[in-house]
């Protein structure tokens, strides 16, 4: 009965074992997995847009090849994560409809514009850097298909982070104009990158339950701190300044103190009013509608092949 099933589920969570799609799980757990994994998948797919914006204008063949490969990796991560999400009983069509209908979210960070080529480097360094901080612990998330997807995604993500850092390091060895371009880009992306980890812990409605279920392994503020501590020495090595006058090493805490992100801006962006929200969703909607004939043709073909086999 239900009580026994719940006891089994809780014991699995307690042991830090995986919950698999065929296992019994409380409806709230399933809903939370769908919400988080879908949001993650949508972020990978929408995340192709800001960088895709520069593919036709890359400064060299080498940079273009790197950027193309990176954006294709993101498509791969998205599809991989949609598959993980489908194991909990929703279809990719439903997920896409929910994204386009504004009923599911994607990461706030992709609602900011990419104004210069330095942004390609900054996204790799800071945005993918934040993604790694957030996702490495998710390799141990309690939902099996999600955790396994994270292992491969993290490997590719750390390559993305290095390519971003290398791009910026190259520009920093260039002209004064190039160095200024890097600094301007870092100034724009620093705070939005810190917002990627979500609201502060005392204003995060989902963290406690998600941690109790082992879906999340760390709180939002924990991971944000990790990101700051990881990035400060990298910024020094690059020779860029992080735009936070309150940023300093705290000997007692053995961690950096830092300022407060503009949480009003964050709330604005996640409720649809960021600088590029409308454009990002509209682009996704158009791609979905333009692809309808491919999905229909594939369905008809599959049905016919099935009928032929039965005949």
Positions touching ligand ACO (CB under 6 A) are 35-36, 39-40, 43-44, 47, 105, 107-108, 127-128, 131, 134, 195-199, 204-207, 210, 216, 220, 270
* Closest distance of CB 219 from ligand ACO, Å: 9
* Closest distance of CB 4 from ligand ACO, Å: 29
* Closest distance of CB 177 from ligand ACO, Å: 29
Best CA proximity match to 193, nearest among 277, 103, 262, 99: 262
Q: Which is nearer to ligand ACO, 12 or 135 (CB)?
A: 135
Q: Which is nearer to ligand ACO, 36 or 172 (CB)?
A: 36
Q: Which is nearer to ligand ACO, 172 or 276 (CB)?
A: 276
Helix segments in 213-291, DSSP class H: 220-238, 263-268, 277-290
* DSSP helix/strand/coil, 79: helix
* Closest distance of CB 8 from ligand ACO, Å: 25
Q: Which is nearer to ligand ACO, 73 or 184 (CB)?
A: 73
Report the distance separating Cα 142 and Cα 119, nearest Å: 35
Report the distance separating Cα 227 and Cα 159, nearest Å: 17
Report the distance separating Cα 125 and Cα 119, nearest Å: 10
Q: Which is nearer to ligand ACO, 179 or 213 (CB)?
A: 213
* DSSP helix/strand/coil, 256: strand
**Percentages helix, strand, coil for the chain, rounded to the nearest 5?**
70, 5, 25
* Closest distance of CB 2 from ligand ACO, Å: 26
């Amino acid at each position: 009965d239900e009580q026994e099933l719940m006891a089994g589920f809780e014991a699995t969570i307690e042991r830090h074992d995986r919950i698999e799609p065929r296992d019994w799980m409380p409806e709230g757990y399933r809903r939370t997995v769908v919400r988080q994994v879908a949001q993650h998948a949508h972020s990978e797919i929408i995340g192709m847009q800001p960088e895709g914006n520069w593919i036709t204008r890359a400064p060299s063949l080498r940079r273009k090849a790197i950027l193309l490969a990176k954006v294709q990796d993101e498509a791969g991560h998205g599809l991989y994560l949609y598959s993980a999400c489908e194991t909990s009983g929703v279809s990719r069509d439903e997920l896409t409809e929910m994204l386009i209908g504004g009923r599911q979210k994607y990461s706030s960070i992709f609602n900011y514009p990419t104004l210069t080529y330095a942004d390609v480097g900054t996204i790799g360094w800071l945005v993918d850097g934040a993604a790694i901080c957030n996702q490495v612990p998710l390799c141990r998330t309690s939902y099996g298909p999600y955790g396994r997807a994270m292992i491969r995604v993290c490997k590719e993500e750390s390559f993305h982070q290095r390519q971003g850092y290398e791009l910026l390091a190259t520009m920093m060895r260039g002209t004064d104009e190039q160095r200024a371009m890097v600094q301007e880009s870092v100034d724009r992306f620093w705070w939005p990158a810190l917002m990627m980890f979500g609201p502060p812990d005392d204003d995060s409605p989902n963290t406690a339950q998600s941690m109790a279920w082992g879906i999340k392994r760390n709180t939002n503020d924990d991971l944000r701190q990790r990101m700051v501590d990881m990035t400060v020495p990298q910024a020094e090595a690059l020779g860029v300044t992080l735009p936070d006058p309150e940023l300093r090493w705290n000997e007692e805490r053995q961690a950096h103190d830092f300022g407060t992100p503009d949480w009003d801006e964050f709330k604005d962006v996640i409720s649809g009013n960021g600088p590029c929200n409308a454009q990002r969703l509209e682009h996704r909607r158009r791609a979905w509608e333009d692809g309808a004939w491919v999905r229909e043709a594939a369905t008809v073909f599959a049905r016919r092949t099935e009928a032929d086999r039965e005949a």
